[in-house]
Chain A
Amino acid sequence: MEKFTKITSIATPFPRVNVDTDIIIPAKHLKSIRRTGFAAGAFESVRYDADGKLIEDNVFDGPTYKGAKILIAGDNFGCGSSREHAPWAIDEMGYRCIIAPSFADIFAGNCIKNGILTVSLPQADVDALVMAAEAGHPITVDLVAQTVTCENALYNFDFNPTHKDMLMEGLDEIGQTLKSKGAIADFEAKQKMTTPWLYR
């Protein structure tokens, strides 16, 4: 997984509220048994017209925000289905960071596991960043300092320290957890005594 410390990029403004994971990647595109190939169907209802033709100037494909690594989103972003295909698709589209007033819990967890930083900022700050993004100003997201800067504005954000380490080091979480194998085995030995019916 690619390490995340600091990025500077123009940003795609997409401040719609309650964007669910069905919008990010509709269910009909979930049938791959691989982790890739989801970018083409991502945000389908925003990017394609009713006949399935790409809308040239949509925010994701138009020239204005081409190459953006930051997505500025609306409140409760990523609600709905737990599909990890949503962050896989967003990653494949080239985004490394999403800034929004709030994120749905499962989606936020899925992002971290795929090296995508989710930054929560107050609505007014996100509104200001949307305007800056629309004006084409580059935005810098610094995970080490936990700041977002744009022109003369600076915003601090909170971030879980465990998740911060994971993103900064690009860690494999399973390998990390398996260091606690002994503690897990001890837990099981104890649980087998108290609730034996959970074991076969």
Chain B
Amino acid sequence: MPRTMYDKIWDNHLVEERGEGVGLIYIDRHLVHEVTSPQAFDGLRAAGRDIRRRDSIIAVPDHNVPTKDRDQDNPDEMSVAQLEALEANSKEFNLDYIPMVDARQGIVHVIGPEQGFTQPGVTMVCGDSHTSTHGAFGAFAIGIGTSEVEHVMATQTLLLKKAKNMRVTVNGDLPVGCSAKDVALAIIGAVGTAGGTGHVIEYAGSVIEGLSMEGRMTLCNMSIEAGARAGLVAPDDKTFNYIKGRPYAPKAGQWDVAVNFWRSLRSEEGAKFDKEIVLNGNDIVPQVTWGTSPEDVVPVTGEVPMPGSFAEPSKQEGAQKALDYMGLKAGQKITEISVDRVFVGSCTNSRIEDMRAVAEVIKGRKKADTVKQVLIVPGSGLVKAQAEEEGLDKIFEDAGFEWREPGCSMCLAMNADKALPGEHVASTSNRNFVGRQGPGARTHLVSPAMAAAAAIAGHFVDVREF
């Protein structure tokens, strides 16, 4: 029977069948950060267990690192405890550890690909739901909880129930001014935040093939916001060219064998998908979220919807609650929403291409006076260095933006980077949940270009006409 890419990766990693679609699955790659790992290391110690394969792990702090004044004492004692625990645990267990002061430090989901650690056909985990990002390379990559982090460390496996196959095909061409972020939000708008629950989404079609590796990462990153634990894109020459020569990539003697193997991973003709969604890329316009779930999304040309326009009573109630929290009126034009703060960063949109997209929109312009702060947080030290080499940091600073050190930052506001209650934030991150960017903060998810345009205009604008 023809198999999907996910079927193949599953079969390649099945150690034992456990019945009812459950399998003991071998895990090739594990990214570890400071927030979801300390209890796992504690568990190992308590049980006297060791880590099975040190060479399968990279540890790096990202979630609560400060993005400025790194040479000064961190006043947040709890963050310091987690950062110190990660360092001590990495040393005790002799792991590849990238400290905060290292040029390679950054968000786990940015540095995995950057280091060539993310590769087609591997199984990959991290105690973070946005591990789905790595599916851009044709890796089966999933977010896990802390117990599972410990389980993978001790056994190199996970007990998983095989998910169903779902394919999202985006045909046609993406219009100028639209990006992978808009594709991701349009898909979530179409299928809902539970649309992919229980499924692995394979993205296909000309729009996906046309995306850069950065764009594919943005798209796969948001799979979890559609409810899917993993996203996948078939690896192609773009994928191989990206990986080649990176520190963890296959070496010269193994490279050709690896590429041949990677080419064999594609879904076969006639493979069965349990759910199929087809979108026309030509119809996609820049997207803006208005509510407190990523599915609360409309085109920038649209309006805040009426709660009564939703079919189910529970959704109507949810929409009304979201409008109250967001301080918006039904029927209000999206372009009339003012922006108090702008955040460009996160594992969704903090790569070099995102930095370039922002610079291109703002070059020679200044942020609106009414916008209190524009934070530009690169995804890694390497992205930062590349951007500075291209002079992008100057463009940002000339516009009145703040150019920071790499980390998760205001995506989840675990460090000092927060929005204040009631403030509207144009954010390139992935979640507009209640209080995510600070208690009472009102998040609007957008692409980097849209965030940049909002920073200049002081309200949302259609970047295609900006």
Interface residues of A (CB under 8 A from B): 15-18, 20, 22-23, 26-28, 30-35, 44-45, 50, 74-76, 79-84, 87, 102, 104-106, 109-110, 113-114, 160-162, 173-174, 177-178, 180, 183-184, 187-188, 191, 194-200
Contacts and interface: CB of A to CB of B under 8 A. Distances in A.
A35 B39 contact: yes
B70 interface: no
Contact of A113 (B55, B122, B145): B145
Contacts of B20: 160-162
Q: Which of B15, B20, B49, B142 has the most CB of A within 10 A?
A: B15
Contact of B435 (A16, A26, A197): A26
B293 interface: yes
Given A34-B39, A75-B314, A106-B145, A161 B19 contact: yes
A50 B421 CA distance: 9
Given A82-B128, A82-B131, 12 more contacts: A18-B193, A18-B318, A23-B434, A31-B78, A33-B85, A50-B440, A82-B143, A82-B145, A109-B145, A173-B159, A174-B150, A174-B151
Nearest to B250: A197
Q: Which of A45, A87, A105, A162 has the most CB of B within 10 A?
A: A105
Contacts of B28: 198
Q: Which of A84, A180, A196 has the most CB of B within 10 A?
A: A84
A20 to B, nearest CB: 5
A110 B21 CA distance: 19
5 contacts: A17-B318, A84-B146, A177-B159, A184-B155, A199-B55
Contacts of B18: 162
A27 B421 CA distance: 16
Contacts of B150: 174
B194 A75 contact: yes
A82 B144 contact: yes
Given A31-B82, A31-B414, A199-B55, A162 B145 contact: no
Contacts of B127: 82, 84
B27 to A, nearest CB: 10
B412 interface: yes
A104 B294 CA distance: 15
Nearest to B24: A180
Contacts of A196: 254
Contact of A174 (B16, B35, B128, B155): B155
Nearest to A197: B250
Contact of A74 (B49, B154, B314): B314
Contacts of A32: 78
Interface residues of B, number: 78
B429 interface: no
Nearest to B251: A197
A180 B414 CA distance: 39
Interface in B60-97: 64, 76, 78-79, 81-82, 85
A113 B147 contact: yes
A39 B111 CA distance: 33
A107 B238 CA distance: 34
B107 to A, nearest CB: 14
B15 A187 contact: yes
B411 to A, nearest CB: 9
A22 B155 contact: no
A8 to B, nearest CB: 28
B22 interface: yes
B227 interface: yes
A79 B413 CA distance: 18
Interface string B417-437: 000010000000001011110
B441 to A, nearest CB: 11
By Cβ-Cβ distance, the 4 closest A-B pairs, closest first, are: A31-B78, A84-B145, A197-B250, A33-B38
Interface in B21-59: 22, 24, 26, 28, 35-36, 38-39, 42, 47, 49, 52, 55
A144 B142 CA distance: 31
Given A17-B314, A27-B413, A184-B15, A162 B431 contact: no
Nearest to B121: A195
B464 interface: no
Given A18-B193, A74-B314, A31 B229 contact: no
A197 B254 contact: yes
B129 interface: yes
Interface in B148-201: 148, 150-151, 154-157, 159, 161, 163, 193-194, 197-198
B194 A31 contact: no
B196 to A, nearest CB: 9
B337 interface: no
Contact of B193 (A79, A195, A199): A79
B466 interface: no
Nearest to A15: B314
A28 B413 contact: yes
B193 A45 contact: no
Contacts of B156: 184, 188
Contacts of A198: 28, 119, 122
B145 A22 contact: no
B64 A31 contact: yes
Contacts of B26: 184, 187-188, 191
Contact of B412 (A27, A106, A184, A194): A27
Nearest to B22: A162
